[in-house]
Amino acid sequence: MIKLLVGLGNPGPEYEDTRHNAGWWWIDRVAQDLRANWHPERAYFGLTARTTVDGQPLWLLKPTTYMNRSGQSVAALARFFKIAPTEILVAHDELDLPPGDARLKRGGGHAGHNGLRDIHAQLGSADYWRLRLGIGHPGVKAEVANWVLRKPPAAERDAIERAIDRAARALPLLLAGDVARATAAIHTNQPPRPKPPRPAHPPTDGTDGR
């Protein structure tokens, strides 16, 4: 069972709306849904919130160490409360997915993401859950650093928010251990179906209109 939810991002108003903070956007939405209040915790190098779901304690964490030291915060809380890597879910921005896509996975590499890289190192394990929130790729590797630290245009932000909404709504399934249904709900990325056309007024000549 997941016992710790982590959203990755950078502290400070200059980073608040940048693509690199997609993990923070998700964890803030979850805290709102769970009515959990954030508190600064120096011992865990971040903002924490604690709640209970189905009688089980659940921690929420926003590291404030800056992205490349995220593992310092995650490992500090996980070790103190004896939370195993398999009981941790980390939400983060993902260059390899377009805005609007989200993917759930457990384990794997860090793919050059500095936050995940430090979590790997500090936990000594890659065997934790990841919620990958697509932010798209600039197309040129040299532009990645600038890309993640820029605000997405409104259409992209709306797409990311839709993915965040799906993932937040699927969280109860994941916490209940229903990984298959949670994964299906998160991975579905379909545009809203158009409303069907309204039927024409019935003919008045007594025919059926055919």
For 129, the 3-state DSSP assignment is strand
Strands of the 102-106 sheet, one edge to the other: 39-41, 46-53, 56-63, 4-7, 88-94, 129-134, 102-106
User: What is the spatial distance between Cα 77 and Cα 40, in angstroms, rounded to a whole number?
Assistant: 13
Determine contact, residues 99/156, Cβ cutoff 8 Å.
Answer: yes
Catalytic residue among 20, 92, 113, 120: 20
Question: Which tokens go with 170?
Answer: 């699927």
For 40, the 3-state DSSP assignment is strand
Determine contact, residues 129/89, Cβ cutoff 8 Å.
Answer: yes
Active site residue 20: yes
Question: Which tokens go with 171?
Answer: 């969280």
At which residue do the structure tokens 């809203």 appear? 192
Determine contact, residues 136/153, Cβ cutoff 8 Å.
Answer: no
> Which residue from 175, 199, 204 is spatially nearest to 53, judged by alpha carbons?
175
Could you list the active site residues? Answer: 20
